[in-house]
């Protein structure tokens, strides 16, 4: 894991700008920072910048930009199966000068071109420069785990980097906030942010996952090296086969992601996602696991009993981190500055504290359970989509509704999701996603309306389509964005074993009828982990996740806080003062309004830095 940045264009890049960008990359790569500049035969200028966080092969011989022949690589990420890819290359006569995955990736690209990525399992955002052709190529991994931002200038030049602030440093000009995207965030929340190519700055976009962008003398060429279209469900697959295939592939994915020349930490909750990874590491590979948990004081989201049980049963080291609400606004301002964006949810304020603790304990790598819900159906609205999909099977439907009423109805909070026929009657209903959007629109100085949309990724399979939209366009891109920025703030690489191509393709082939059993979400994953994860964890139906009301963090009776919130600010060009004042005077806020107030705070802090 590292940081990259660079430029391709007609004008040379000032050394002062290069040095400024390298300085801003220090947290992403504390071990080495280097830049290389080139000029192509047709007169274009190229710069490749790299900041290194050493994870595999600590020797300086693996510093970047790295060269094989006439091809250079600046690379952020990890090639998890570099051992196997290296053996394949050695069979073709390749010899190696390092033990790093960096050299393996570059030699794979030089020998096989971008088709060679088909044999690579990992996460990456990288830039290559071919001296003979003058072509710069930018590439991002299949699921978008590693970020890569782009900014074009008016003369045909392109700046790129792991963070937005690097684009501003390299271009030498301030970036202008995209107020329409801010309004989208305020009204529709985080699930709306990755349905368009927009970011929080005008003219800045992200390279899409699974894409190679080639920049040569003839212009740009974008092509997809991986098709994310899911395989068809295998109707003949038995439940036992689905379970066995999941178990095998998840164990292999964890095995690959334990590879490092430094110890790994584990993000730990009381749920099956993180505990599946921890239990596999401990019980299958005898890894010395150290788990880190955020302690939530809100009993609606508290799961300490499950964490304590897992620690005792698995015999792992454990560190609990209480949520510190002191200096909330100054800390939030710092986070917004580091992220170059509003925080997407209050969860990532707590996650930042988690990463800080992992760093203080000396770790450079963390493991998290991102995407298990999207692969194996873990959300409450998934259950309603499942009911719609099995509706044609009268016996299965009747049994499933009975299970839902007994096990799920008592614990669902979202009012729209308390009706088991919500999606059976109208599969297009999505009011539960943009909850209270009309009310939030009225709180703006100019109303904002953008109806919910989703891509058609799975035809008439409603549950599968929802899961895939969340994986590629809604929840997972948000999680990956925040995970990267929070982790890299403390020079930590975050790995997500559920984002494994083989596991993804297998999970997509599992028939819908298997995904919920006995009213239990993620049934296939739960049963795949029998004998590895403690039964008490697997049999717990409650979906928790970290959440907290913003008023638990914000003392609105504090005169200093009142002065901060009421001060003149560019945010009042977007949001009505009276609407915010009304929220702040209420003793209690429903969850959706608490989220709006948090979003407002983040937009306020963001515009105070970038909005003048």
- Alpha-carbon distance 165 to 449, whole Å? 30
Residue with tokens 């439940």: 239
pLDDT, position 575: 97
Task: Name the packing angle between helices 272-279 and 304-314 (round to 10°).
Answer: 10
pLDDT tier for residue 189 given thresholds of 50, 70 and 90 = very high
Whether 369 has a binding-site annotation, put simply, is yes
Map residue 404 onto helix, strand or coil. helix
Q: Stretch 510-520: mean pLDDT, rounded?
A: 95
DSSP tag of 116:
G
- Alpha-carbon distance 591 to 607, whole Å? 24
DSSP string, 350-397: HHHHHHHHHHHTT-SEEE--TTHHHHHT-SHHHHHHHHHHTTTSHHHH
Residue 579 has pLDDT above 90, yes or no: yes
Whether 535 has a binding-site annotation, put simply, is no
pLDDT, position 298: 62
Residues 6+ apart with CB under 8 A from 84: none
pLDDT, position 73: 99
For the whole model, what pTM was predicted? 0.96
* 58-67, 110-119, 308-317, 543-552: range with lowest mean pLDDT: 543-552
pLDDT tier for residue 372 given thresholds of 50, 70 and 90 = very high
pLDDT, position 302: 65
Whether 203 has a binding-site annotation, put simply, is no
DSSP string, 27-47: TT-BSEEEEEEEE-TTS-EEE
**Is 2 part of the annotated catalytic residue set?**
yes
Whether 294 has a binding-site annotation, put simply, is yes
Q: Which domains does the chain have, with CATH numbers?
A: 2-224 (3.60.20.10), 239-375+479-508+528-537 (3.40.50.620), 550-610 (no CATH)
Q: Stretch 427-433: mean pLDDT, rounded?
A: 90
Peptide bond before residue 65 is cis, with ω within 30 degrees of 0? yes
Q: Stretch 166-189: mean pLDDT, rounded?
A: 97
Q: Stretch 179-204: mean pLDDT, rounded?
A: 97
Q: What separation in angstroms does the CA of 172 have from each of 5, 20, 168, 270, 483?
A: 14, 10, 6, 46, 28
Residue with the bigger pLDDT between 156 and 353: it is: 353
pLDDT, position 155: 84
Residue 586 has pLDDT above 80, yes or no: yes
- pLDDT (tens digit, 9 = 90+) per residue, 61-114? 999 999 999 999 999 999 999 999 999 999 999 999 999 999 999 999 999 999
**Contact call for residues 370 and 496 (beta carbons, < 8 A):** yes
Residue 300 has pLDDT above 60, yes or no: no
Residue 546 has pLDDT above 70, yes or no: no
Residue 297 has pLDDT above 60, yes or no: yes
Q: Stretch 501-527: mean pLDDT, rounded?
A: 96
Q: How many CB atoms lie within 10 A of CB 15?
A: 11
Residue with the bigger pLDDT between 305 and 49: it is: 49
Q: What percent of the chain clears pLDDT 70, i.e. is strictly above it?
A: 98
Residue 33 has pLDDT above 70, yes or no: yes
Residues 6+ apart with CB under 8 A from 309: 270, 534, 536, 537
| Average pLDDT score, the chain | 94
pLDDT tier for residue 545 given thresholds of 50, 70 and 90 = low
What residue ranges in 448-504 does DSSP mark as E strands?
A: 493-495
User: Angle at the Cα of 193 (from 222 to 460), degrees rounded to 5?
Assistant: 80
Give how far the C-alpha of residue 306 lies from the chain's centroid of Cα atoms, to the nearest Å: 25
Token pair belonging to 100: 């790093």
Q: Which of 2, 120, 267, 508 is catalytic?
A: 2
Q: Stretch 276-305: mean pLDDT, rounded?
A: 88
pLDDT, position 544: 63
* 117-126, 536-545, 597-606: range with lowest mean pLDDT: 536-545
pLDDT tier for residue 489 given thresholds of 50, 70 and 90 = very high
Core vs surface per residue 381-396: b (16+ CB within 10 A) or e? bbbbbbbbbbbeeeee
């Amino acid at each position: 894991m590292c940081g990259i940045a660079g430029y391709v264009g007609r004008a040379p890049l000032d050394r002062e700008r290069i040095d400024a960008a390298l300085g801003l990359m220090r947290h992403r790569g504390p071990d080495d920072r280097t830049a290389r500049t080139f000029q192509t035969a047709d007169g274009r200028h190229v710069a490749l910048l790299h900041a290194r966080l050493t994870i595999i092969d600590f020797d300086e011989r693996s510093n970047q930009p790295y060269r094989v022949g006439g091809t250079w690589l600046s690379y952020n990420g990890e090639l998890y199966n570099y051992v196997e890819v290296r053996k394949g290359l050695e069979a073709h006569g390749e010899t190696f000068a390092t033990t790093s995955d960096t050299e393996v990736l570059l030699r794979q690209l030089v020998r096989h071109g971008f088709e060679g990525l088909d044999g690579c399992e990992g996460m990456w955002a990288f830039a290559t420069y071919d001296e003979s052709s003058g072509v710069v190529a930018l590439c991002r991994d299949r699921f978008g785990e590693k970020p890569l931002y782009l900014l074009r200038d008016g003369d045909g030049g392109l700046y790129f980097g792991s963070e937005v602030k690097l684009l501003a440093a390299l271009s030498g000009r301030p970036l202008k906030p995209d107020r329409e995207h801010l309004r989208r965030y305020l009204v529709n929340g985080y699930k709306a942010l990755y349905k368009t190519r927009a970011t929080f700055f005008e003219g800045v976009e992200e390279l899409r996952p699974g894409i190679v962008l080639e920049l040569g003398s003839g212009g740009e060429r974008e092509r997809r090296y991986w098709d994310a279209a899911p395989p068809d469900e295998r109707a003949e697959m038995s439940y036992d086969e689905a379970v066995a295939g999941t178990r095998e592939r998840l164990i292999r994915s964890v095995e690959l992601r334990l590879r490092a020349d430094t110890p790994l930490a584990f993000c730990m909750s009381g749920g099956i996602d993180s505990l599946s990874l921890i239990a596999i590491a401990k019980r299958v590979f005898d890894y010395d696991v150290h788990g880190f948990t955020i302690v939530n004081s809100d009993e609606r989201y508290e799961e300490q009993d499950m964490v304590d049980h897992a620690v005792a049963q698995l015999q792992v080291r454990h560190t609990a981190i209480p949520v510190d609400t002191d200096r909330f606004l100054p800390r939030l301002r710092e986070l917004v500055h580091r992220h170059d964006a509003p925080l997407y949810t209050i969860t990532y304020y707590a996650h930042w504290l988690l990463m800080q603790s992992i760093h203080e304990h000396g770790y450079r790598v963390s493991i998290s359970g991102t995407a298990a819900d999207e692969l194996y159906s873990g959300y409450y609205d998934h259950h309603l989509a499942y009911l719609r999909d099995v509706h044609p099977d009268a016996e299965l439907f009747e049994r499933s509704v009975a299970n839902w009423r007994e096990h799920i109805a008592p614990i669902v909070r979202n009012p729209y999701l308390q009706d088991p026929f919500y999606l059976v009657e109208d599969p297009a209903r999505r009011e539960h996603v943009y909850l209270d959007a009309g009310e939030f629109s009225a709180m703006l100085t100019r109303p904002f309306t953008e109806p919910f949309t989703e891509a058609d990724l799975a035809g008439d399979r409603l549950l599968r389509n929802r899961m895939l939209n969340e994986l590629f366009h809604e929840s997972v891109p948000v999680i990956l964005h925040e995970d990267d920025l929070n982790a890299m703030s403390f020079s930590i690489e975050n790995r997500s074993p559920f984002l494994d191509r083989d596991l993804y393709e297998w999970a997509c082939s599992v028939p819908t009828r298997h995904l919920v059993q006995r009213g239990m979400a993620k049934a296939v994953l739960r049963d795949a982990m029998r004998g590895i994860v403690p039964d008490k964890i697997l049999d717990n139906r409650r979906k928790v996740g970290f959440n907290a009301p913003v008023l638990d963090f914000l003392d609105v009776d504090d005169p200093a806080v009142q002065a901060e919130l009421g001060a003149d600010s560019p945010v009042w060009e977007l949001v009505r003062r009276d609407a915010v004042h009304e929220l702040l005077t209420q003793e209690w806020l429903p969850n959706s309004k608490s989220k709006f107030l948090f979003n407002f705070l983040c937009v306020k802090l963001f515009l105070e830095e970038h909005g003048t």
